Amino acid sequence: MEGIEFHLQAEPRGGSSWCEFSQRVERMGFAGLRVPDHPGSGASPFVALAAAAAVTERITLAPYVLNAGVWDPLILANEVATLDIVSDGRAVLGIGAGHTPSEWLMRGAVYPSAAQRVDRLVELIATVPRLLTGETVDFEGQHVQCRDAALTACVPVQTCVPVLIGGNGPRVLELARKHANIVSISGLGATRDDGHSHSVRWSAPVVDRSFGRVDGATRDLLR
């Protein structure tokens, strides 16, 4: 169907099988491959995506989505830029606020409130895309700081690496509408007792409400 793309989310369980799977994803006509970011319970998205880049030519490659709470702006920008280089310009920066408590607790950190998680996401969106465009960034935020930060050698192939913001809360969707190339509506249901999975709520009223939040925000792409 014209205008509709299909992307597939997966993660590796073996080296050769992952490479074969990535090639099959491309042969089957998928537009992109996505790898989740759950440190401690999942694979490293950037290592997996770089391996997929080496054996594919067309599909876009994105973490889906990065936990903003565990990434530093310069380190994240460097990872995305490197993926863009090794994939010849097929990287997408997929990021969200994060929600799984263990991903903070296993690092000896306090699990932030929902508002604090979104606050950090806002600050990463204010810094990482600027770094990816070659800008030298000074930023003093509540959660992240940059001092003359710049990617001086690892320069992305794309002039503007696409930004994908995923989530469902009002602030996240408003942020995505303002600053993302791709808005991903996810986590529609309530978080279950494991702190990770969600109940499914893909009803028309729920989806319409989320789209309404996106439509109501002012567009301001970071280009």
Q: Which amino acid is at 103?
A: E
Low-confidence ranges of the chain (pLDDT < 70): 1, 187-202, 216-223
**Is 48 a member of any domain?**
yes
Looking at the DSSP bridge assignments, the partners of residue 191 are 198
**Is 60 a member of any domain?**
yes
Q: Which are the contacts of 194, defined by CB distance < 8 A and separation ≥ 6?
A: none
Burial 191-213 (b: 16+ CB within 10 A, else e): eeeeeeeeeeeeeeeeeeebeeb
pLDDT of residue 55: 98
**Is 2 a member of any domain?**
no
**Is 41 a member of any domain?**
yes
CATH of the domain at 53: 3.20.20.30
Any idea how long the chain is?
223
pTM: 0.90
Residue 162 Cα distances to 13, 21, 193, 209, 223, angstroms: 28, 24, 34, 25, 10
**Is 36 a member of any domain?**
yes
pLDDT of residue 221: 45
CA atoms within 13 A on the CB side of 159: 1
**Is 23 a member of any domain?**
yes
Q: Which are the contacts of 46, defined by CB distance < 8 A and separation ≥ 6?
A: 63, 79, 80, 82, 83
Contact yes or no for 150/135 (Cβ under 8 A): yes
**Is 162 a member of any domain?**
yes
- The total number of structural domains in the chain stands at 1
pLDDT of residue 217: 52
pLDDT of residue 222: 40
Q: Which amino acid is at 88?
A: D
Sheet containing 182-185: give its strands across.
66-67, 93-96, 163-167, 182-185
Residue 147 is part of which domain span?
7-215
pLDDT of residue 220: 54
pLDDT of residue 188: 58
Q: Which amino acid is at 185?
A: I
**Is 187 a member of any domain?**
yes
